[in-house]
Structure 1
Amino acid sequence: FEIYASTQNANETQAVVASCLGVSANKVACKVKRLGGGFGGKESRTIPLSCIMSIAAYHQKRPVRCMLDRNEDMTISGQRNPFMGKWKVGLDENNKLVALDTELYLNAGWSSDLSVAVMERALGHIDNVYYIPNVRAVGRCCRTNIHSNTAFRGFGGPQANVIAETYMTEIAERIGMTQEEFREINFYKEGQTTHFNQELKDWHLPKGYFQLKEKANFDARKAAVEEFNKQSKWRKRGLAFIPTKYGISFTALHLNQAGAMIHIYHDGSVLLSHGGVEMGQGLHTKMIQICAEGLQIPLEMVHIVETSTDKVANASPTAASASSDLNGMAVKNACDQINERLEPYRAKGLPWKEIVHHAYFDRVNLSANGFYKVPDLGYKWGENKGQLFFYFTMGAAVSEVEVDLLTGSHTVIRSDVNMDLGRSINPSIDIGQIEGAFIQGMGWSTTEES
């Protein structure tokens, strides 16, 4: 059975379809050429449709194809989980946070889908970037009579950050301190531990925050906004400065693994396959870059094939902002295996095609199956022990917005974003991802309904 699906999760599509058909997984192959966008909505909700089509094809003994229109798609797929947060916060005499007691409620819809994992990530981000030595966080997924909500970009992180910034804003107003000053005095410092007992390493948020504050000319613009609001009756402006961190890893331990396959042909060309799905985020481009750099060959010599469960088995879903890390390391592992076999030929100073030529005639294996699992992870819920995330990305944004008080319409005058991504594999792609994420976040906070 061959399935061509628009899914972020070929492996689970294969497994569930096999279960529906009553056959073993090795008799089902799920293939994904590319997606026209995913953002989490195709992580699990595409699978029921694949099952329906497979059963129809099985009984009719002929191919079956189905494309949903937008209304059908939205009705079936669900949306981002709406959240409600209740909180109590304690401060000391220096206005430092000392305690947070919070309850988070998530609207799961009629089935659980991925809501438990969304809540787990939300509980891990309820602190945002602030050190709070005493935290009690309780999450509840609520079953309701609406469509089943599902993964959507950020996967609980943005909702928790909004709740965190709500209590930071409200407290700052209550104690008569500027929001920026209150945030700054409560930032995490290098080496401090989160409420899930993970030590912060490579913590560059304060540096990036103050760097952006200077580059965006924040203080002068804030004064200009205050002056504008004094002079304007019907139009008002606001200036927000929000930091963030995001934990990189699946909260489900077993998903933090990836595979890749490399074949080198007699003419020196390279065929690459990995378990990740290309959905416009540039994943295939990055994997080609890693392969080409690893084998020390030009990019043009590497060709990547569609994602398929009969090429790379047991792949994790392309999600959690972890696919470049996971699949990239699997590709690197495959390259390392081949490089070790080709080292005697490289030592002779031969060009690439001759290296491959001589290795082939010496009966050297020119294929490799790469694998990677993220080290050090293993958080235990309830015990609050172990490492939840491999590392954190972090950044900050300054946005100036004007609102028409008569119509309610708003205009984003300017936004500045500063993100720490480590060594970027492809800066053009990553800048595009940051800009796209910001625009999608604007949509969430202004027009998205759930």
Structure 2
Amino acid sequence: MPDGPGHYPSAAATGRSKPSRIALVDVNSFYVSCERVFDPSLAGVPVVVLSNNDGCVVARSNEAKALGIPLGEPWFKISAQAPRWGLIQRSSNYELYGDLSSRAMELMGRFAAWQEVYSIDESFLGLAGSPQSLQDQGGGIRAAMALHTGLPVCVGIAPTKTLAKFANRVAKQNPAMGGVCNLDTMPGAQIDHIMSRVPVTGVWGVASRLGKRLNAIGVFTIADLRAANPLLMRRKFSVLLQRTILELRGVPCIELETERTDKKQMIFSRSFSTPVTTLAGMHQVMSLYAQAAAMRLSRAKQLAHSMTVFAGTSPFHRTASSFPSVTVRLPAPTADPVVLTRAAVGALERHLEEGVPYARAGVMLTDLSPAGFQPQLDVFVSVHERRNIGALLGEVTEKYGAGSIGLGRAGLCAPADWTMSRRYSSPRYTTEWDELAIVKAN
């Protein structure tokens, strides 16, 4: 529990060395904010960003939220009303978002003793100092982000990750705080009051299903959860919920996580903008996806032992219904794009039908192991793997963009008509020379 009003256990009291406080820095409405960086005309107007193939709303500006547009709303349902609302739509521009995210995370890291990148738009930072100096550091982070990236952020500062997430939420919902909430500067009674008004699903790690189970035993708010018996909740639910309760009391239980290198599976899956109806077209799809998966393996320095390839028609198609899926064991652990491409094409082609309108496909690599962890006999190592073909594909693609290189059918120059639809996409201002922003001086 807090040591006193607005104060949580010190680093010494919890056995932690400095830095004694954690900041959660989160970019506000990240996708929309990225679009606004290079297009000032979008400021102050309702904007939505759409999912792959311009299907559903995946991000909204505050103005779009005020119109009552929910996340996941199909675009076709609201497109007719968009002009009347003054609503602007954008296709997902992942190249732009990824590049701005990298720049933002690098800049955030300059302010901290340690950094944990939590997602594309969030980062935990380790900070030290008095409550007022921490408040000033939060303001400095916001100012630097606005100046150097153009992205608006909010900063939540607290002794634990869970409380830092809570503080960030408070900062977002209270504009008078100026985008920074440091729980050490708030009276304990004020924190208690806010926690008693926020549903338990508003705490990090408690989703709607768990929230309903907690509601059934009388836990409705964050304050209720914080007051619950940690040991009893561990027995009824899980050790993760016990840690959440302790974190809400200011006891750090969720340690710094480094980037995971022990992933057990890797998936590359996409839906098509136009159904693929020919075996030759699906051959190209599987070649592209297998090579994309191989590049991810190479970047992660991992090898795959097994592969599952799958395809499917639209569940809404009235006549055709086909969902083939095949799992194959690879001859040896590999990240070789040639081997993976042959395996993907060979595994699925016997289960595909000419003329069937396939709407999506994917490649899943499983049973992964670190590259070089166990030496392989030369007889099991392909010549392409010795030459690091997978890494080469990744380097060329990173430098020259998607579609710049490929093996076999995946290297065809003409873009396929089934590739993802992005009718409302903004330019890739920071990653493509031909799409750089043009500045005009009066």
Tell me, yes or no, whether TM beats 0.5.
no
TM-score (normalised: structure 2): 0.23
